[in-house]
Structure 1
Amino acid sequence: MSLSLTPEIEQRIAQQLNQGGYQSADEVILAALELLDKREQYLAELRQQIEIGESQIQQGKVTDGELVFNRLLNRLQQQTEDS
């Protein structure tokens, strides 16, 4: 496979090489691809969690955010008073 890199990308790779963290342009590109894979995995997991949340909302399995916040504040106040 042959790649054409823009001057900006070549400069970014060169900066990484000059900083000493990588031995070759291939290592820089591999590290970038690994980060891309992690990002894609994170986004897939996030989408799955959103689907679960949407399903729970449709089933009525939700608690009002203000109610949760007020419960947390009350619990915090009780802990402060007990201390």
Structure 2
Amino acid sequence: MGQVDKRSITLSPELAAAVDDVVAAGEYASASEVIRDALRQWKDRRDLHGYTVEELRKLVQEGIDSGPALDGPPIMERLRAKYLKMAEVKGLEE
């Protein structure tokens, strides 16, 4: 595990009991292991696939600024009609 930074934490009785239960059941070797695993999982969720909170806010704003969502089938039909017309002009067939 390399270097460690020793910390003291305070848990509610419910969380302390949950930690004690999983250690007693043999799921973890120690309370420290439970807390480390919980913190790793929290960090993974917080990382959000590598995006920072500010990057996510920017992406959300870009989505809002781009206007309302469009339905796929009508767009595909318009594109199909457009390219069929282009093919007709060039003398190509479907």
**Alignment partner of 2:62 out of 44, 55, 58:** 55
> Structure 1 residue runs of 4+, over 6 Å off?
none
The amino acid that maps onto 1:6 is: S
Q: Based on CA coordinates, which of the two structures has the bigger radius of gyration? A: 2
The higher relative CO (CA closer than 8 Å, separation ≥ 6) is in 1
Normalised by the length of structure 1, the TM-score is 0.57
Task: Please name the residue that 2:86 is paired with.
Answer: none
Q: Distance in 2 between matches of 1:33 and 1:56?
A: 31
Task: Please name the residue that 2:17 is paired with.
Answer: 11
Q: How does 1:4-83 map to 2 (within 5 A)?
A: 4-42=10-48, 45=51, 47=53, 48-49=55-56, 51-55=58-62, 57-58=64-65, 60=66, 64-65=69-70, 67-68=71-72, 70=73
Unaligned runs of 5+ in 2: 1-6, 78-94
Normalised by the length of structure 2, the TM-score is 0.52
The size of the alignment, in residue pairs, is 69
RMSD between aligned residues: 3.2
Is the helix fraction higher in 1 or 2? 1
Unaligned runs of 5+ in 1: 75-83
Identical residues among aligned pairs (%):
22
